[in-house]
Structure 1
Amino acid sequence: MTLSGMTGFARSERSGVYGSISVEARSVNGKGLDVRLRLPQGLDAVENPIRELAKQRFNRGSVSITVTLTAPEGASAASVDMAQLEAYLHATRNLVDKGGVRAASIGELLALKGVIISEETGLDEDQAAERDAEVVNAVEAALDGLKTARLEEGAALRTVLEGHLDEITDLRDQAANCAAAMPDAIKARLQVKLDELISGGVDPDRLAQEAAMMAVKADVREELDRLKAHIDSAHALLDAGSPCGRKLDFLSQEFNREANTLCSKSADTQLTNIGLALKATVDRLREQVQNVE
């Protein structure tokens, strides 16, 4: 499987005795799959097949499909509905006479709904069936193009995500090798503080007990182990491909939780700086994960 993004655009066209068909398909990020159709009047029969085509190709994203159908030259005519026009004129006459509004221009009147009547030459049953089939074929081609665009975005996203994971791995290793996180360093810091407060030294046994308690509170090895496990899981999800966006989003939350714990346990400037850098990298990772299907 290949990683896929959620944004893209594609277009396809067809033509025949029914006229010309133009299809535009575009998608943006979405928590689930939301398919929105804009079809010309008379194409209701193809709505369900088109939705199925989208469901077969995508799992997440807001997908918009617009179908435009243009009749062949000479197959349509237009006329003015005089009764409708008179109704609009009568409705506005009182306002015009009172000086509340200006009289509408001929262009404005003709633009009103129902004034212009489109009279199209009807297709026979076979021609209508051919048109509907070609509409579905055109939509299928556009959706295939949209899927290709989303896969191209996914390839670019994978490079970015792997870069962020490499940064997290490096910071995790820095934290593991940080001297301030070692039990001996914790014991030494406690010895210095106690020596400052108590003259004559400190009982070695008591020092060992206090150092052990501090070591437990400041020990970040468990967080570092979980970070390594999360890194391995993220790489496995990228290798498996889409749909994995939701799982990566959950995993990025776990990364953030471990980074926060690392900062809260830190009693050393070096380890704190590593934790803050880790948080910043995790934020960038999660931002990009939102684009993954």
Structure 2
Amino acid sequence: MKVEAFPAAGSKVQATDFVVTIGGQAGNASVAIARLGGDARYAGALGGNDDAIANWIIEKLNAEHVDCTHARRIDGAMSSVSLIMLDATGEKMIATRRGEGILSAAPVDAEKTVDSVDAVLLDNRYPNFMMPIVEAATKRGIPRVLDLDRPASIDDPLLNGSTHVVSSAEAMRGTTGEQDFGAALKKLGQTYKGFLAVTVGPDGVYWLDKGEVRHMDAFKVKSVDTLGAGDTFHGAFTLRLVETGDVVEAMRFGAAAAAIKCTRFGGLMGAATRAEVEAFLKERA
């Protein structure tokens, strides 16, 4: 829902626009990958056939050419829903009701879930579901990209089982106790030995390169909706990483896809196509 400014406690504001859509980290990222020309497979826990929201999520993902055959449907469970407000700057405020009966779910068959895929993109909100996926992907020797969206312990097995960690600013600070991103990356890099980066919205991306902190500026755009931008970055990053093996190229590609998404209202419905991202990058070469 779009508003000019967020309401004060106990007050009302007039909305200027609204849309009802699916979302979430995995949903947003999988749609981003599919629109960019990748083969996306969604594997997550959802409510059973009696959950209208879960049925709608599957329907919408299928319409975006996302393979949902490995989604875990749990009878009697309810999928998560969120109320999201966006102000005139594109900044968001979110209230979420976490799904009931899905937090402790595990995949039916993790090895089948990762069979024939080139990489897995994970988040740390559902560790019981993600750890078997990490273990199966490790056996196959494929990249395991973690969207670190909430603080974790430095010895977290999900974090340390990933080959690439791309963290939100809040999660990086919460995990390390450091406010400065350079200091945070170096601290986490003492124990975590894979690729390590943190996205900072309009301030771009910081990452660790052989112990040195590097920075990439964000693309400058007029933002109208930041919802799903981080997930779009992660999806595009993972796809381009598989295509090129170059983390810098993957970050630039992800930054371009995220920037385009920010210029469009409607969450994941604003995800860009491959042609749009390539044209965007060509204009800024």
Normalising by structure 2, we get a TM-score of: 0.22
Higher helix share: 1
Question: Higher Cα Rg: structure 1 or 2?
Answer: 1
Task: Tell me the TM-score normalized by structure 1.
Answer: 0.22
